[in-house]
């Protein structure tokens, strides 16, 4: 959507909805009447297909008992591999390069333990000062395990403006003492999409391994991890991929690393045909499956089966096109309707640098978010210290909802209705 075609009327939003090629997918989701949900970048909504496949796997436990591991529509023993194959196209990987397993942080630990092999001369890790905290916690603990001081050996790239990270600054830090780089694909606060292909190429030119945290992009932004030669990546499936709260995570390992013994191993790291030989010598799987640890949470994998059906039908290309149009439309409306009210759009304006959400800064962000939820049944996402994250998700949000959201924000600011709320976030923001 270009600026020249922008029209601030509700009729225009309704016309965009009428021409939306993905509109029918909205009916696939459980939407609460009278509520506008713009928090799909934190927890995606439940689809009817996810409910169906969850009940199918509950039935397989009910009907088959232990035989459910090898029998039924979705034998549990192979479910992580099956879902890895089905989600591989979403990240641009081969079917054997992705496995659905663990959680974001446990997967990062497995991958960092594998790919961070410090030497006396190469012993530093690059991250950024704007990373989600859990990534930093994990990298600090990996350094501690090698008796390396995180203060000295974890390089956190500084932001020039507190919102964005410049690729040039990351590249400049790629010195001879760096062994590993771990970066977000999309920064969780500002929604900036990093140039993954360029950063990977620059890292490899210097002999450095590089991996990415895809939590805030996978399912909203198409990736080409294999084509770009990314070494590894990991992500959660419960945001844009709608697998359910705390749903099992995903990881990618470039096939050039197959055969490398993982730094952490467990029962499910084994090659499938060898696993029940019960030998004390592990024969690792010859694909991304080697990076699993324990038995998968079958009932947590179950909703993801149904969700992936929807992604296969919708395609990442169409989802990205609508996502960019929705966020562009939201930014245009904000600029038109909320001018002079103290809001700043903190995410990049350019399509190629923007993830799936709009990052709106305001000094009263906490109180505005509380007003949105409690008085207007609009679900945003607050991030300290001053950010309102708004994620119009391509599968189930509409242009009309975006229009209503901005009108509600305008009304809140005009009436100053946020002033009745305490400037204090909830325990879970």
**Average pLDDT, stretch 149-159?**
98
- How far apart CA 71 and CA 155 sit, in angstroms, is 49
- How far apart CA 136 and CA 130 sit, in angstroms, is 10
Q: What are phi and psi of 389, to 5 degrees?
A: -95, 130
170-200: per-residue pLDDT in tens?
Answer: 999 999 999 999 999 999 999 999 999 999 9
Name the pLDDT band for 427 (thresholds 50, 70, 90): low
269 is in an annotated binding site: no
Three-state DSSP class for 173?
coil
- How far apart CA 238 and CA 283 sit, in angstroms, is 31
132 is in an annotated binding site: yes
Give yes or no for residue 17 having a pLDDT over 80: yes
- How far apart CA 299 and CA 76 sit, in angstroms, is 10
135 is in an annotated binding site: yes
104 is in an annotated binding site: yes
- Residue 52's Cβ-count burial label (10 Å; 0-12, 13-18, 19+) is middle
The pLDDT value given to residue 422: 84
**Average pLDDT, stretch 68-86?**
98
Quote the mean pLDDT of the chain: 96
Preceding omega of 28 cis (within 30 degrees of 0): no
Q: What are phi and psi of 142, to 5 degrees?
A: -65, -40
Count CB neighbours of 189 within 10 A: 24
Residues belonging to the chain: 429
207-229: per-residue pLDDT in tens?
Answer: 999 999 999 999 999 999 999 99
Q: Where are the beta strands (DSSP E) in 141-263?
A: 154-157, 178-184, 209-213, 232-235, 250-253
Give yes or no for residue 426 having a pLDDT over 90: no
- How far apart CA 370 and CA 378 sit, in angstroms, is 10
Cα diameter, the chain = 70
259: left (phi over 0), alpha (psi -120 to 50) or beta: left
Name the token pair of 110.
């497995």
The pLDDT value given to residue 2: 43
Give yes or no for residue 91 having a pLDDT over 50: yes
**Average pLDDT, stretch 336-342?**
97
231 is in an annotated binding site: no
Give yes or no for residue 1 having a pLDDT over 50: no
Q: Do domains 3-30+315-418 and 51-313 have the same CATH topology?
A: no
Q: What angle do CA 157, 163, 169 make, to 5 degrees?
A: 30
Which residues are catalytically annotated?
132, 213, 238-239, 389
Count CB neighbours of 376 within 10 A: 20
**Average pLDDT, stretch 47-75?**
98
395-425: per-residue pLDDT in tens?
Answer: 999 999 999 999 999 999 999 999 999 887 7
Give yes or no for residue 365 having a pLDDT over 60: yes
Domain boundaries 3-30+315-418, CATH class: alpha beta
The pLDDT value given to residue 423: 82
**Average pLDDT, stretch 47-67?**
98
The pLDDT value given to residue 4: 53
**Average pLDDT, stretch 81-94?**
98
Spell out the domain ranges in the chain.
Answer: 3-30+315-418, 51-313
Distance separating the N- and C-terminal Cα atoms of the chain: 32
Q: Has domain 51-313 been given CATH number 3.30.450.20? A: no
Three-state DSSP class for 176?
coil
76 is in an annotated binding site: no
Three-state DSSP class for 118?
coil
With 0.85 as the threshold, say if the pTM is over it. yes
The pLDDT value given to residue 428: 64
- How far apart CA 180 and CA 245 sit, in angstroms, is 31
């Amino acid at each position: 959507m270009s600026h020249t075609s922008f029209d601030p009327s509700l009729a225009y939003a309704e016309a965009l909805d009428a021409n939306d090629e993905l509109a029918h997918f909205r009916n696939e989701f459980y939407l609460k009447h009278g509520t506008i949900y713009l928090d799909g970048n934190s927890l995606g909504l439940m689809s009817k297909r996810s409910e169906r496949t969850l009940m199918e796997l509950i039935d397989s436990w009910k009907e088959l008992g232990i035989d459910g591991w090898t029998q039924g529509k979705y034998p549990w023993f192979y479910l992580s591999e099956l879902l890895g194959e089905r989600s591989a196209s979403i990240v641009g990987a081969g079917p054997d390069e992705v496995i659905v397993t663990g959680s974001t942080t446990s997967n990062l630990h497995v991958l960092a333990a594998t790919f961070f092999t410090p030497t006396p001369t190469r012993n530093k890790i690059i991250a950024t000062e704007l990373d989600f905290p859990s990534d930093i916690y994990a990298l600090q603990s990996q350094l501690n395990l090698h008796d390396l001081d995180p203060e000295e050996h974890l390089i956190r790239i500084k932001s020039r403006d507190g919102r964005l990270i410049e690729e040039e600054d990351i590249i400049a830090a790629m010195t001879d003492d760096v062994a590993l780089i771990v970066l977000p694909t999309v920064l969780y606060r500002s929604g900036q999409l990093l140039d993954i292909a360029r950063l990977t190429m620059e890292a490899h030119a210097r002999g450095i391994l590089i991996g990415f945290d895809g939590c805030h992009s996978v399912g909203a932004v198409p990736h080409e991890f294999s084509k770009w030669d990314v070494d590894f990546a990991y992500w959660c499936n419960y945001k844009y991929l709608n697998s359910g709260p705390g749903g099992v995570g995903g990881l990618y390992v470039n096939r050039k690393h197959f055969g490398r013994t993982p730094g952490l191993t467990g029962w499910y790291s084994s090659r499938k045909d060898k696993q029940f030989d019960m030998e004390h010598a592990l024969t690792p799987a010859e694909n991304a499956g080697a990076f699993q640890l324990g038995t998968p949470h079958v009932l947590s994998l179950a909703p993801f089966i149904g969700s992936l059906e929807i992604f296969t039908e919708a395609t990442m290309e169409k989802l990205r096109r609508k996502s960019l149009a929705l966020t562009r439309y939201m930014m245009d409306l904000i600029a038109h309707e909320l001018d002079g009210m103290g809001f700043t759009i903190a995410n990049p304006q350019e399509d190629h640098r923007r993830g799936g959400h709009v990052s709106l800064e305001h000094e009263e962000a906490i109180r505005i978010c509380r007003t949105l939820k409690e008085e207007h049944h609009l679900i945003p996402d607050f991030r300290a210290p001053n950010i309102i994250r708004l994620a119009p998700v391509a599968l189930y949000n509409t242009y009309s909802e975006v229009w209503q959201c901005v009108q509600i924000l305008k009304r809140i600011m005009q009436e100053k209705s946020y002033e009745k709320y305490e400037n204090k976030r909830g325990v879970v923001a």
